[in-house]
Every structure is written in C-alpha cells, then in structure tokens.
Amino acid sequence: MKILHLFKWFSLIFSMLLFAACGSSEQVTSPDGQIKVTFLLKKGIPYYNAEYKGQRVISDSRLGFVLKDNPAFTSGFSLVKKSESTFDETWTQPWGEVKDIRNHYNEMMISLLGANEAELRIVFRIFNDGVGFRYEIPDQKSLSDFEILDELTEFNLSGDHKAWWIGAYQDNRYEYLYTSTPISEMDTVHTPLTMETADGLYLSIHEAALVDYASMTIASLPGNTLKADLVPWSDGVKVKTSAPMKTPWRTIQIAEKPGDLITSYLILNLNEPNKLGDTSWIEPGKYVGIWWEMHLDKSTWSQGPRHGATTQKTKKYMDFAAKYGFKGVLVEGWNIGWDGDWIKNGDKFSFTQAYDDFDIEAVTAYAANKDVGLIGHNETGGAVMNYEAQLTDGFKMYNSLGVKAVKTGYVNYARGIKRMDEKGEIQNEWHHGQHMVQHYQKVVDEAAKYHIMVDVHEPIKATGLRRTYPNMMTREGARGQEFNAWSADGGNPPEHETILPFTRLLGGPMDFTPGIFDLTYEKEKPNNRVNTTLAKQLAEYVVLYSPLQMAADLPENYEKNLKPFQFIRDVPCDWQDTRVLNATIGDYVTIVRKDRHSADWYLGSVSDENSRSLDITLDFLEPGKTYTAQIYRDADDADWKSNPYAIAIDETSVTNMSKLTLKLAAGGGTAIRFKIDN
Ligand code: NOJ
C-alpha cells in the first residue's frame, strides 16, 4: 500500500515537472482540423485561446474561479495531467428541427492542482462548428461544500465585433428587442450573444446544460474582452455547490454563414442523452387557445361577465380545434387566483381548483371525445414557493384528466422571486439565478413523472436540456407576438423575426405564437397592430421553430380566411431536416424544412422593413420527383404598413432543378408547401 502511495506521489511530481518544462501549452483541434484550441498556464494562471482556419478568434482568455474564503481555483495552478479522446456518434431526436444529429468532437481534459492541492479539471470539446468547455470539480478531500463568488472565464475577442444583444438584469427578463452595436458599446447581456466579425465570421457565445448553477450573462470589458457574469443569489454568492460537480458548458459557435449557426447542433450535443427513457407519450403538435382574446381585452382572465375561460367557450374552441386538426387547446384564467392584482398575489393561485364557470372534468371529457387535449395553464406570478407546494397534486390531477401539456408562466420583476431562507426569512431572488435554475428543473422532472410536456413563458433560457428531458418542449423567453397586442413602443418591428433565429432560437425552440390574421384590430386596440404582412405570419411557422406551435388568433379570424389558414393547418412542427437557404441577420432569412412524417418540404422566408427579391434553387427536393409548390406570398402591392392583408396564393409544379424568385414585401414573407406528387 505504502509503496503504491509513494509511487502515486512520485508520478504526480514527475508529471508536474514535465508539464512545467514543456511550458504548459496544450492543443486540441476539431475533427476537420479547422478549429484549434490551446490551453496555457502562465505564471500559474490558466488561459485558453482559439483559432479558426489559422486566424485568432479568441486570444488568451482567463479561466478559473474566485471561491468564498478559499484561494483554491484562482491562481497558483500547476498542470498535472492531460488526456485526449475522440467521440463520434449519430443520435436521433425524438422530435426536433432535424431527426439525426452527428455528435463528433475531439476532447482534451486538463487536470490542474490549485492552492491546498485542490483539483480542477477543464474539459474542452472541439467540434467542426465550434467549441465547448466546462469545469469539473471532482470528489476530493480538500473541498466539499463551497461557494463561487466569481467565474473568471473570459472570451477575449479579436476585434470590436458587431453584436446583437439584449441586456441582462432587466425587469422584463429576456423580453426586449435586440440592439445591434459593437461589443464595446454593450451592456451586460444575455446569451446567446451573436456577433459578426469584420472578416465575415459569425460567432455565438452561449452555454449548454445549465443545471444547478447560475445563468451566465456576459459583461463587456475594455479591449474586446467579454467576461462571464453569473447571476447572483440575494446574498451576492453566485453558485452554492459541492464537489463533485460540473459546470454548464461555455460555448462558442463559429460559422462562415449566419445560417450555419442555425443548423449547428453543438448546444444539443453538449447535453446528456435522454434520461426519460420511453418518449412515446411526447408529441409535438399545434394548438389554439383562449389567450389572444385576453390580450386584445375582449375577455378577462379574472371572473366576471367577460371571463374568457368558461366551459362553454372552451368547448367551442375544442370544436374548432377538432374541425381543423389542432391537437391542443390552451385555456388561461381557468383556475382560482386571477382576481385582483395577480402579479403581486401569485401566492393566491390554485393549480387544482377551477373557477365555478369552468368545469374541468366536463371539458377534458369533451376534449377526449374529439381527440383534442386541454393544455393546462399554470401562471405562477413568480410565486414559486406556492407553485412548488402544489406541483405534485396539480400534475397528478392533470394526468388523471388526460392533460398532456402544461404552459407555465412567471410574470414578475426580474428580482421578484421570493425564497424562504434557512432562517425562515424571505429573500428576493433573481429570475435567472441558481435558485430559479433549480426550480425550472424541478418542474420538468415532476412533469415527466406524470407524462406532461412543458412549455414555459418567462422561462430560464434554453441551453439544450430538451435532449436530456424531451418533455421540456418549448418556451417563450424573448419578445413574442403578444407585444404586438399591447406594447407601448408599438410592438415588434419588422426586423425582429429576422434576428430571433440567429439569437434567441440558437438556444432552443421558441413558442412565439405566430399566425395573427387580424393584423390591425383597430376596434380593440387602436394604438397597436402586428407589424408584418399576412404572408409573413405564415412564414413564421417555418422560420421560428417550436415543437408546440400555436395558431394564436381568434377562431373567427381563421374562419373568415380559410385559404391562407390552410397553410397553418398543413405545416408540421416536427422535422426530418432543416436547411437555411439564405440569410443576412436583421434583414432576411429563408429556411426550408422537411416534414418528419411525409416527403413534403416547407419553406418560410421573412424580410425586415425592406422589400426584396431572393433567388433560390430547389435542390433540397428529392431528385426525380415532382412536387406541387403551394405558394403563399405577398401580393405585388403588399406592404406591412399600408397594405398588410394583400396575399397571393398560387400553385406551380417544381422539381429539384427548379428555381424560384421569392418576392418579399416590406415587412413581408413567403410560405410554401412543396407537396410531393404521387
Ligand atoms: C404573461 C404572458 O406574457 C402572457 O402571454 C400570459 O397570457 C399572461 N402572463 C398570463 O399568464
């Protein structure tokens, strides 16, 4: 035993001397050799840098932590071990924007000893489309419970790149319009943070597998340096944890074309495989709901003569859903707690007791007869203690009533989350700190036990956890359609949907709630409107991916416009393949997707406030087959502002040799179904 022990120490000291002699610079490249990451130890401080095709993308950038009352992981490191490996597998998504995903990377694991012999590992995974790295703190004698005061991770960029960003620590959480400035002019921002370099490269910094840790926001420091800024607990500590633990992955996606960011699956690849086992109960689908009418003030969430969520109205929505092929009906305001100021009084919500005029047994029985499901709505007002106390009872009850999906909500100020601490005192936590990361995970775990799919409004950001927990379907987490109903700034400008796919949606699906046909609602909301053409509303179903996709408008507006509505009825929300045909971030994007369950392809193309023509080749279609292209386009005189309803619906026969010119109006779009001919 003793000899073995001595030998262990001898080899440790020997490898430390060896690494010191070699200058502690270790490299790993992507499988195609185009990306190279170097790990360096300079005077006991760890750094990394990254190159793409021989060009510096990230200069020496610091790594490490400041722990509370413990110098272990800041400086004074020595390198004790390095190991390398390669991984290559193709895995299948139970649902998604693409069916099969190749997960191919080279890994380098660096093991460091810091003060008090504490061990810190840094694992780099280099893919052809970018870099992921994370810290691992193994089980060890000198460290058990510890608190992180700061994560020192930096991204020292090669220039003052143009970035699309939304500010962190703002009351409306992620619900802001994107600002585009050089990084030197950024606030502290949320991720995904997407950038364009002067050389025309596209970079996006984000994180993968955010579990039991604080969200990473990004602070902009002088000299083109970005630094991880973890959202703190109320006492200022960033992360409370214990060894062994692994941090989320810090990710840098690298692309030559903006569209390649969209078809990069690096974030998903860095998440653990499915932990739920059988996923046959998880089904993507489209839904309608008693929702938009409240946003237009046509009915109320609260009780009273204009209460929206009545048994009778819900049955009508269910009839509509069944008639036109929708799988779900979302009903907001069905449960006790909406009367009065529900944002202040979130702890009054019951998640099991319905209002008197909503007979939940009757509507779920009615739904079952029509092969439609009730989507339960759980607005928490951010009162997560109240919600967590009822989670199990609520989900148990929904499951017994055949409810397969729940849409949750957390309207409150960014720091309005109340938590009871160990002393029984109430603390205000940030919406994006470790406490809420834990909460959102608790909901997903509990929902899975009762076979419930989750769609989250006011979520924590998406970091690819849907791979591990495939019932975590979709979330809003950005400015969605609803801002067009009431936002004092006039709603989402036409460029909004040309930015979202390259920013928010790189994290994961977004329940944007597209499909508004009454674009101007002058009677209900004279100062608001949707700032797109009608054809663009259709295109959003393809451009803004979500496995639960809403037809957000009122049934009567669809019944008045059955021809364009046909596209919403046809378009799937579970895909075999996804490709981006053209894109300029903030100007336009054209995406095609192949249906997972048929040979048909669908196209969505959206423009900002400018009209434009885009030439495309249909070489994505299967060779030797003919298709009928059902084209829903802006009419020649359409314009989002002055003539938004002008839509032309044409049919033409195409093959994979065909070319089309898409003519998008200002604020416009095109949607196409390529229906295979038998
Ligand atoms: C705020 C959300 O933004 C909205 O969509 C929802 O209808 C209300 N909360 C009620 O939950």
Domain match, 310 and 418 both:
yes
Going by alpha carbons, the residue nearest to atom 11 of ligand 1 is 379
**Ligand 1, residues 171, 287, 295, 332: which to mutate, most atoms within 8 A of Cβ?**
332
Chain centre to alpha carbon of residue 328: 22
Going by alpha carbons, the residue nearest to atom 7 of ligand 1 is 291
- The helix or strand, by DSSP H or E, that contains position 252, with its residue range, turns out to be strand 249-255
DSSP label at residue 390? H
Q: What is the pLDDT of residue 142?
A: 87
What is the mean pLDDT of the segment spanning 303-308? 98
Range of the domain at 462: 282-477
Which ligand 1 atom minimizes the distance to the CA of 513? 5
Q: What are 578-588's pLDDT values in tens digits?
A: 999 999 999 99
Residue that finishes a domain, picked among 462, 477, 492:
477
Backbone angles phi, psi at 570, to 5 degrees: -80, -40
Q: Contact at 8 Å (CB) between 417 and 388?
A: no
Q: What is the pLDDT of residue 493?
A: 98
User: Does any domain span residue 361?
Assistant: yes
* Predicted confidence band of residue 343 (pLDDT cuts 50, 70, 90): confident
Residue 316 Cα to ligand 1 midpoint, Å, equals: 22
We report the CATH number of the domain holding residue 220 as 2.70.98.10
Strand partners, 42: 45
Domain match, 242 and 307 both:
no
Which ligand 1 atom minimizes the distance to the CA of 295? 7
**Ligand 1, residues 171, 331, 410, 411: which to mutate, most atoms within 8 A of Cβ?**
411
**Ligand 1, residues 297, 379, 484: which to mutate, most atoms within 8 A of Cβ?**
379
Domain match, 198 and 138 both:
yes
Domain match, 123 and 201 both:
yes
Domain match, 212 and 337 both:
no
pLDDT at 5 over 80: no
Q: In Å, how far are 58, 404, 479, 503, 639 from 500, measured between CA atoms?
A: 25, 28, 9, 5, 21
Question: For ligand 1, which residues put their CB under 6 angstroms from it?
Answer: 291, 332, 379, 409, 411, 457, 482
Q: What is the pLDDT of residue 2?
A: 46
What is the mean pLDDT of the segment spanning 509-537? 97
Q: What are 640-670's pLDDT values in tens digits?
A: 999 999 999 999 999 999 999 999 999 999 9
User: Does any domain span residue 547?
Assistant: no
Q: What are 69-96's pLDDT values in tens digits?
A: 999 999 999 999 999 999 999 999 999 9
Which ligand 1 atom minimizes the distance to the CA of 377? 11
pLDDT at 7 over 60: no
Domain match, 262 and 352 both:
no
Q: What angle do CA 25, 30, 36 make, to 5 degrees?
A: 35
What is the mean pLDDT of the segment spanning 141-146? 94
What is the Cα–Cα distance from 144 to 60, expressed in whole angstroms? 30
What is the mean pLDDT of the segment spanning 247-272? 98
Domain match, 357 and 421 both:
yes
Residue 374 Cα to ligand 1 midpoint, Å, equals: 17
277: exposed, middle or buried (C-beta count within 10 Å: 0-12, 13-18, 19+)? exposed
Q: What is the pLDDT of residue 574?
A: 98
Q: What is the pLDDT of residue 457?
A: 97
Q: What is the pLDDT of residue 8?
A: 47
What is the mean pLDDT of the segment spanning 16-41? 81
Any idea which of 1-5, 101-105, 146-150, 228-232 has the lowest mean pLDDT?
1-5
What is the mean pLDDT of the segment spanning 545-568? 98
Tell which residue, 201, 200, 175, 203, has the closest CA to residue 190: 175
Residue 295 Cα to ligand 1 midpoint, Å, equals: 8
Going by alpha carbons, the residue nearest to atom 1 of ligand 1 is 411
Residue that finishes a domain, picked among 477, 508, 528:
477
User: Does any domain span residue 139?
Assistant: yes
User: Does any domain span residue 167?
Assistant: yes
Q: Bigger pLDDT: 116 or 306? A: 306
Amino acid identity of residue 63, one-letter, is L
Give, rounded to a whole angstrom, the gap between the first and last alpha carbons of the chain: 74
Going by alpha carbons, the residue nearest to atom 6 of ligand 1 is 409
What is the Cα–Cα distance from 528 to 532, expressed in whole angstroms? 12
What is the mean pLDDT of the segment spanning 40-44? 97
Residue 289 Cα to ligand 1 midpoint, Å, equals: 12
pLDDT at 634 over 50: yes
Domain match, 196 and 323 both:
no
Q: What are 603-627's pLDDT values in tens digits?
A: 999 999 999 999 999 999 999 999 9
**Ligand 1, residues 457, 484, 550: which to mutate, most atoms within 8 A of Cβ?**
457
Domain match, 208 and 290 both:
no
User: Does any domain span residue 61?
Assistant: yes
Tokens at residue 656, please? Answer: 């994979």
DSSP label at residue 631? E
The mean of the pLDDT values for the chain is 96
* Predicted confidence band of residue 230 (pLDDT cuts 50, 70, 90): very high
Going by alpha carbons, the residue nearest to atom 10 of ligand 1 is 379
Residue 235 Cα to ligand 1 midpoint, Å, equals: 30
Residue 288 Cα to ligand 1 midpoint, Å, equals: 15
**Tokens 């690298």 map to which residue?**
254
Domain match, 225 and 353 both:
no
We report the CATH number of the domain holding residue 313 as 3.20.20.70
* Predicted confidence band of residue 347 (pLDDT cuts 50, 70, 90): very high
Beta strands in 476-611 (DSSP E): 548-550, 575-584, 588-595, 601-607
* Predicted confidence band of residue 636 (pLDDT cuts 50, 70, 90): very high
Any alpha helices (H) in 187-299, and if so which ranges? 258-262, 266-269, 292-295
Residue 170 Cα to ligand 1 midpoint, Å, equals: 18
Q: What are 359-388's pLDDT values in tens digits?
A: 999 999 999 999 999 999 999 999 999 999
Q: What is the pLDDT of residue 555?
A: 98
User: Does any domain span residue 556?
Assistant: no
User: Does any domain span residue 563?
Assistant: no
Chain centre to alpha carbon of residue 152: 25
Q: What is the pLDDT of residue 101?
A: 98
Q: Contact at 8 Å (CB) between 601 and 629?
A: no
Strand partners, 254: 203
Amino acid identity of residue 661, one-letter, is T
Q: What is the pLDDT of residue 538?
A: 99
* Predicted confidence band of residue 66 (pLDDT cuts 50, 70, 90): very high
Tell which residue, 243, 244, 240, has the closest CA to residue 230: 240
Q: In degrees to the nearest 10, what's the CA dihedral of 528, 534, 538, 543?
A: -60
Please count the structural domains in the chain. Answer: 2
- The helix or strand, by DSSP H or E, that contains position 104, with its residue range, turns out to be strand 100-113
Residue that finishes a domain, picked among 477, 510, 529:
477
Residue 486 Cα to ligand 1 midpoint, Å, equals: 12
Active site residue 482: yes
User: Does any domain span residue 551?
Assistant: no
Which ligand 1 atom minimizes the distance to the CA of 409? 11
Catalytic residue (choose from 482, 495, 497, 540): 482
Which ligand 1 atom minimizes the distance to the CA of 294? 7
Domain match, 238 and 290 both:
no
- The helix or strand, by DSSP H or E, that contains position 193, with its residue range, turns out to be strand 193-196
For the chain, what percent of residues have pLDDT higher than 70?
97
**Tokens 């009825």 map to which residue?**
569
* Predicted confidence band of residue 231 (pLDDT cuts 50, 70, 90): very high
259: exposed, middle or buried (C-beta count within 10 Å: 0-12, 13-18, 19+)? buried
Q: What is the pLDDT of residue 414?
A: 86
Domain match, 410 and 344 both:
yes
* Predicted confidence band of residue 4 (pLDDT cuts 50, 70, 90): very low
Helix and strand numbers, DSSP H then E, in the chain = 14, 37
Any alpha helices (H) in 138-236, and if so which ranges? none
